[in-house]
Structure 1
Amino acid sequence: MKNAQFWTWRREIAVTLIATGSAVALVATAGAGVSHASEGPVSIPASSLSADGKFFTPGPNTVVKRNAGATETRSELAQNVAPVSPAPAGTTDYYAIKNAHWISQSCGTNVIQQTSGQGKTTLVLSVEKSVAATVTKEVNVDLKYISAGMGWSVTNTYSVKNETRYEVPSGKFGTVQAFPLYDVFVGDAWSGAGGRFPTGKKVYAYKPVGVCFNQWLR
């Protein structure tokens, strides 16, 4: 399925990307090490990247956490997608999104926070950021119709919030990077007044719901 992001484990091949997020609210505690916030290379396995380079599936060094306090299950997410709204009267050039449903989770490749430090120390990274939803589509559908079909606004920003702790042993240098976690939804694009004609095209919507923490030693 094109553009769909699933949890899969693949061969680890290190690549370097340039971080584009901003680093804030970074803390290190315990031990003699010193932690600091910095923008630096992003270590993501090449085999886990999506075709457009905007998403990756987590590897063994990734800790995935939904927003603190989140209670929705995956089945509830699928059930909570609202039915599509009808087309306005007299509309001819119109797309409707039908059969929208949750399919997976995926991590974005933009770093939103980062910390690192020399061991022995404990790196603590607390994240609370607003992240914009995003869309990929195989046909030119207005975002308001995608929002109607998905049952949530694809033009809004959503808060992601969670925390991780990473123990760095003596003699090692540790890094923790935070990326947005998205719930991935897919829907079918139908054209014509009221969405009467199937196009065979898909629309994918990515809703920020938590944090992916990549953490490693060197």
Structure 2
Amino acid sequence: MKKGVFITLITVIVLLSGLVVEASTKDRTPGEKLSILSEGQPSNELGDTVQEDVIRISDPKAIQLFQLNQDLHFEPPFPGAKIKEIVIKRSIPLNKSPLTIQSTDIRNVTFGGSICGSELIRRSSASGPGTLHMSVTNTVPNSYTASVSVSAGVVSAGVGFNVTATESITESYDLTIPAGKIGVIEAHPWKDLYDFEVWEDPWYWWGYKTGDGTAYRVTGICFAAWTN
């Protein structure tokens, strides 16, 4: 992590009353742990709770820290809009200890954290008073990156899931909008990260590491609710 980024993180951490971030997705390298920790915060507000089916973040400071940790910068959908809450709904159970097929090409697969993807799946808006309902189906495929050339099939075999498939996930969210207000719901993919090493193995016991990579699996939907 760059020195300037590290200093900025420390400053924000101090300002946000003891909330702690282990690592940001910005400049993240494979193997660098990404998680959200909390001291003195209710678990349903912010915490190391990526395994829960529903995570609800509504405290303004917690929302700010969540975006910093995730390296997200949500753009207000209209002038004066503010994020009311972020709700993450997980459909596929978290696997922190992936059971991988014994592969001579992909080794040492580890869980690297979970992120709210920047891809926008859907946006809906309405004026109050009333309730805005969104039911959304994932359209973002799994993916991977690597520092060396390696095929999707090889990575899929190593991490235990198809790294190019689009997971069948449907979730819903309701936003209550007061009279005279505007409400907007944005849906983004919720992704689990799995870091891995790429090996070259002309003979299994004489193999050597050639690079690193990260596989991203969409496991839920991350809703951002806006009002003015």
The answer as to 2:148 corresponding to 1:139 is yes
Per-residue Cα deviation, 1:99-125 (whole angstroms, up to 9, x for no partner): 112221111111111211111111111
Checking the alignment, whether the CA contact within 8 Å between 1:5 and 1:184 is kept in structure 2 is: no
Residue 6 of structure 1 aligns with which residue?
34
The answer as to 2:163 corresponding to 1:149 is no
> Aligned partners of 1:210 and 1:48: how far apart in 2?
16
SS of structure 1 residue aligned to 2:119? coil
> Aligned partners of 2:134 and 2:99: how far apart in 1?
32
In the TM superposition, residue 45 of structure 1 has moved relative to its aligned partner by: 5.2
In the TM superposition, residue 159 of structure 1 has moved relative to its aligned partner by: 1.3
Residue 176 of structure 1 aligns with which residue?
185
For structure 1, list consecutive stretches of 5 or more residues without a partner in the other structure: 10-43, 51-58, 87-95
The answer as to 2:208 corresponding to 1:197 is yes
**1:125–1:182: structure 2 CA closer, same or farther, 3 Å change rule?**
same
Per-residue Cα deviation, 1:9-51 (whole angstroms, up to 9, x for no partner): 9xxxxxxxxxxxxxxxxxxxxxxxxxxxxxxxxxx9577437x
Equivalent of 1:66, from 67, 90, 99? 90
SS of structure 2 residue aligned to 1:78? coil
> Aligned partners of 2:140 and 2:70: how far apart in 1?
22
TM-score, normalised relative to structure 2:
0.62
**1:175–1:138: structure 2 CA closer, same or farther, 3 Å change rule?**
same
In the TM superposition, residue 210 of structure 1 has moved relative to its aligned partner by: 0.7
SS of structure 1 residue aligned to 2:169? strand
Query: Percent identity among equivalent residues?
Result: 26
Alignment-mate amino acid for residue 64 of structure 1: I
Alignment-mate amino acid for residue 6 of structure 1: L
TM-score, normalised relative to structure 1:
0.64
In the TM superposition, residue 176 of structure 1 has moved relative to its aligned partner by: 0.3
Superposition map of 1:37-116 within 5 A? 48-49=70-71, 61-67=85-91, 70=92, 72=93, 74=94, 77-86=95-104, 96-116=105-125
> Aligned partners of 2:128 and 2:212: how far apart in 1?
48
Runs of 4+ in 1 over 6 A off after TM superposition: none
**1:7–1:114: structure 2 CA closer, same or farther, 3 Å change rule?**
farther
Q: How much is the aligned-residue C-alpha RMSD, in angstroms?
A: 2.6
Flag the structure with higher helix content: 2
SS of structure 2 residue aligned to 1:82? coil
**1:134–1:166: structure 2 CA closer, same or farther, 3 Å change rule?**
same
> Aligned partners of 1:7 and 1:166: how far apart in 2?
27
Per-residue Cα deviation, 1:56-93 (whole angstroms, up to 9, x for no partner): xxx873211112xx4x3x3xx1344323334xxxxxxx
**1:192–1:8: structure 2 CA closer, same or farther, 3 Å change rule?**
same
Per-residue Cα deviation, 1:107-155 (whole angstroms, up to 9, x for no partner): 1111111211111111111112343111121222122111111011112
